[in-house]
Structure formats: C-alpha cells, structure tokens
C-alpha cells in the first residue's frame, strides 16, 4: 500500500518528510523510482507527465499538491473514474490574502503612479481617495477568494464579488452567474481574478471584459495564466482601459525572457508566489484522505470533476 508523489516543478523531498512526520509507517515512493507501481493506491500529483497515471493499475485516489486541479485535467489520459481531492488550507488562504492585500494597497495608494513619477524625477502628491470609495471586485468566491474578499471588507474597502453560484459572505455584495456579470464589472475599480480554470473561465479576462470595467481599472490575476488573453491585456493597457496589472500567473511559466510583459511599465510581475503550499501544513489532510480512502469513507475536499473545481 503505497503513496506515490508524482510531480514536476516541485521538490518532492519536503513532502516525503512532512508525510512521514505525520505517520512514519507510511510507504511513500517518489516517481519515477517507485519500487512497484502496482502497490500504489494514492497519488499526490503536481503537473504530472501526461499519461503517467495509466502505469498504476491499483490507483484509487488522486490528490492535487495544491488548491487547483486544472493541472490534472490537462492530462488527456487522466483516469476520470477516480476520486480527486484538492488541498484546502488556512495558511494558503492567509498567504493569498496577504498577496492580494499588498496588490490592492499598491494600486489604492498609487505606488504605480509614484513609480512612474520617480522615473521622471517628478515630485507630485496625490491625495488618496477614501477606502470606502474604492470598489474591489473579486471574481471567484471559493475558499481563497471568499476569504480574501471578507478580509478586504473588514479593512473598509467596498468589496463586491462574482461567482458562478450565489454566495453569502459577510460585508461583500455578491453577484452570480452570467446574468449579473456586467453589473459586477462596471463597478470594479480593482478587479481580482481567483477563478478556477475551467472551459468557461479560460480566456475570461479579455478585451470585452476589460471594456466593461470603469475606465482605468486595475487588474490582479492570481488564478491561472490561461484565464487571461495576454494580447488583450496589452491592448487594454495601451488604450488606457486599464491603468495597470499585477500578475502572478502566466500561460507559460517561468515567463519566457522575451515575453513583452517583462519590460512593460504598467505590469507588475511576481513568479507564481502569491500563495505557496507548505507541505507541513497540508500533510495531515493528505494522510487523513489516504486513511479515508483505505476505509472507503467519504473524502475531504473532493472535487466535482464535471464542474472542474
Ligand atoms: C497553486 O497555484 C495552487 O493551485 O495551489
């Protein structure tokens, strides 16, 4: 009975150590060097190589090593009959809030404008508008988006949110579904994207959407690079539809050196670090799910594979 860690783009060793700290008796093997693939019942995956899961004939459950599961669904050979779980973690939500809060304050206190002034040796004060006059729009009100929206509201910002299904979050005016999207967008001075990546949300951040925001709105994308149509962002910035964009995720990561975003004065880039899963914090829920799976009990944080999150 083995747990296999199958990842690229992440060091598996801290995960092995954290899982063993929870339960030293666990048999944990790291792809591609497992002793016997037939012993593997539980796979812990991050950007696994396409088709590799077919090598485990007795696999019973797949867990993401993060909050998102889009990397699993990218695999055309993904065993769709298996239950999939994701990680839900208060530290992840706190880290995401800290990042979003920093980005919101950056635009709210006009650091982007002061940076542009600095490049021109320009000393000019602007008086910030009141937090209550700044409307922050959160697209995606799940575990991470909902938490950040609630915390931003307690800071005094006027927070609105949009999600596929109606949500109730203290201090947040929530909009839902296609029918209410435009009413949401036309108010958002700062638009934050924390939507899961699905067929419906791929490319949702496009020119048409940007043109529905208040003129000169700011964008913060902490969801997935594929949510954004990159050329449309460049057009929206050039046309003044958007004042600036803070991006943590990209269609291609690491962002290639020749990419036009790198040198763009109105784009702030961070290397997919908005919130990083700490293996020690999530190991207990992984071990618990492994035990639940072995006992054929309902799993924690199981994903609805038809919905895609
Ligand atoms: C990170 O992007 C995650 O899905 O946890």
Interval 235-283: pLDDT, tens: 999 999 999 999 999 999 999 999 999 999 999 999 999 999 999 999 9
| Helices 90-108 and 111-119: angle between axes, nearest 10 degrees | 50
**Does 307 score more than 90 pLDDT?**
no
72 Cβ inside 6 Å of ligand 1: no
68 Cβ inside 6 Å of ligand 1: yes
Q: What is the CATH number of the domain that holds 39?
A: 3.40.50.720
33 CB-near residues (< 8 Å, 6+ apart):
none
Q: Which of 60, 224, 251, 280 does the annotation list as catalytic?
A: 224
The answer to whether 216 and 242 have CB atoms below 8 angstroms apart is yes
The verdict on 233 and 286 lying in the same domain is: no
Mean pLDDT throughout 212-221? 98
Ligand 1 centroid, distance to 309 Cα (angstroms): 12
Question: Exposure pattern of 23-41 as b/e (b: 16+ CB <10 Å)?
Answer: eeebebbbbeebeebeebb
The answer to whether 41 and 22 have CB atoms below 8 angstroms apart is no
Q: In what order do the strands lie in the sheet with 84-85?
A: 27-30, 2-7, 40-46, 61-64, 84-85
Q: Is 20 a catalytic residue?
A: no
**Does 305 score more than 90 pLDDT?**
no
The verdict on 50 and 157 lying in the same domain is: no
Which residue range forms the structural domain that includes residue 218? 90-269
Total count of domains within the chain: 2
For residue 65, which of 49, 46, 48 has the smallest C-alpha distance?
46
Q: Give the pLDDT band of residue 293 (cuts 50, 70, 90).
A: very high
219 token code pair: 């964008």
Q: Distance between CA atoms of 46 and 289, rounded to whole angstroms?
A: 17
37 CB-near residues (< 8 Å, 6+ apart):
4, 55, 56, 57
Average pLDDT, the chain: 97
**Residue 112 in domain:** yes
**Does 70 score more than 90 pLDDT?**
yes
Residue matched to tokens 């009413």: 183
**Residue 145 in domain:** yes
The verdict on 131 and 228 lying in the same domain is: yes
Q: Give the pLDDT band of residue 308 (cuts 50, 70, 90).
A: confident
Q: Distance between CA atoms of 165 and 45, rounded to whole angstroms?
A: 28
DSSP-derived secondary structure letter, 195: -
Ligand 1 centroid, distance to 73 Cα (angstroms): 14
The string of pLDDT tens digits covering residues 176-209 is: 999 999 999 999 999 999 999 999 999 999 999 9
67 Cβ inside 6 Å of ligand 1: yes
Residue matched to tokens 């949110």: 161
The verdict on 248 and 172 lying in the same domain is: yes
The verdict on 147 and 129 lying in the same domain is: yes
The answer to whether 100 and 150 have CB atoms below 8 angstroms apart is no
Question: Which string of DSSP letters, residue by residue, matches 129-194?
Answer: PPGGG-EEEEE--SHHHHHHHHHHHHTT-EEEEEESS---BTTEEEEETGGGHHHHHTT-SEEEE-
The verdict on 251 and 240 lying in the same domain is: yes
Q: Is 224 a catalytic residue?
A: yes
Residue matched to tokens 């006992």: 295
């Amino acid at each position: 009975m083995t747990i296999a860690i199958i990842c690229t783009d992440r060091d598996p060793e801290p995960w092995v150590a954290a899982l063993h700290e929870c339960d030293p008796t666990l048999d944990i093997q790291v792809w591609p060097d497992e002793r016997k693939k037939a012993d593997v019942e539980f796979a812990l995956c991050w950007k696994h190589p396409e088709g590799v899961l077919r090598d485990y004939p007795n696999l019973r459950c797949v867990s993401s090593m993060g909050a998102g599961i889009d990397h699993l669904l990218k695999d055309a050979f993904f065993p769709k009959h298996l239950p999939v779980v994701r990680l839900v973690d208060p530290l992840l939500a706190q880290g995401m809030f800290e990042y979003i809060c920093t980005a919101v304050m950056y635009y709210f206190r006009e650091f982007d404008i002061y940076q542009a002034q600095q490049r021109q040796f320009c000393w000019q004060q602007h008086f910030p508008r009141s937090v209550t006059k700044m409307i922050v729009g959160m697209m995606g009100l799940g575990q991470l988006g909902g938490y950040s929206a609630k915390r931003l509201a307690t800071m005094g910002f006027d927070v609105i949110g949009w999600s596929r299904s109606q949500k109730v979050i203290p201090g947040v005016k929530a909009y839902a579904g296609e029918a209410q999207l435009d009413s949401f967008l036309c108010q958002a001075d700062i638009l934050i994207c924390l939507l899961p990546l699905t067929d419906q949300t791929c490319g949702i951040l496009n020119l048409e959407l940007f043109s529905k925001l208040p003129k000169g709105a700011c964008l913060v994308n902490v969801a997935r690079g594929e949510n954004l149509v990159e050329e449309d962002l460049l057009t929206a910035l050039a046309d003044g539809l958007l004042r600036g964009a803070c991006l943590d995720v990209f269609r291609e990561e690491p962002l290639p050196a020749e990419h036009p975003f790198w040198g763009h004065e109105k784009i702030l880039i961070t290397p997919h670090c908005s919130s990083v899963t700490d293996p020690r914090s999530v190991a207990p829920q992984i071990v618990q799910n492994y035990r639940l799976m072995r006992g054929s009990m309902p799993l924690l944080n199981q994903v609805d594979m038809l919905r895609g999150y």
